[in-house]
Every structure is written in C-alpha cells, then in structure tokens.
Amino acid sequence: MAKPMTKTQLVAALAEEMGSDKKTASAALDAIIGVITKEVSGGGAVTLPGVGKFYLRERPERMVRNPATGEQIKKDADKVVKVTVAKALKDAANG
C-alpha cells in the first residue's frame, strides 16, 4: 500500500491542476475543509460530487466491553462523522 498523500503534496497537486500558485491552492483547500467542518458539526451533510458524502450520525447509548478486564460498561450516546464513498470513486479505484 502506498503512503498517504500529505497536505503539502495535496496542495502542490491542487495548484498544478488549478494552474495557480500553492498559496491560492492552500487557501482553497482550507476553505473547503472549513465549510465541510462547519456544516457537518451543525448536523448537516455535504456531498462532494464524485468523492462522497460527509454527514453526522448519532449513536445511541449502549453497553460495551472493556477488552482488558472483560467488564461490561455503559457508553453514553455520542455522535460520529461518517463518509459514504461515491460510486464513481469506487468504480475508478476498481479499474
């Protein structure tokens, strides 16, 4: 498995695709991340066409097991961010 792309590498690739400088590409990436974070943390969802959908899911209170002791403990309800990958990206990855 290849190493994941770093933010610096992503900004450089984005700048090349956009035909602009790295500063502009970095600002664009930061703006996209900010919009997604604000919308999802507020309970909304964001769909990036061809990539996937980011959304917030609430998990109910449940019983979990401590793996070290085997003890059952109650875990409070919480929220998790989920990502559903778009079919176009799945198809591209599978050739």
Q: What is the pLDDT of residues 7-57, one digit of tens each?
A: 999 999 999 999 999 999 999 999 999 999 999 999 999 999 999 999 999
Domain residues for the domain of 76 are 46-95
Statement to judge: residues 8 and 50 lie in one domain:
no
Q: Is the pLDDT of residue 1 over 80?
A: no
Position 81 scores a pLDDT of: 95
Domain identity same for 53 and 94: yes
Overall number of domains in the chain = 2
Using DSSP's 3-state secondary structure scheme, residue 3 falls into: coil
Q: Does 38 lie in the same domain as 50?
A: no
User: Does 92 share its domain with 68?
Assistant: yes
The CATH number linked to 70 is 4.10.520.10
* Alpha carbons 61 and 76: distance in angstroms, whole number: 5
Full-prediction pTM beyond 0.75? yes
Residues 28 and 57 in one domain: no
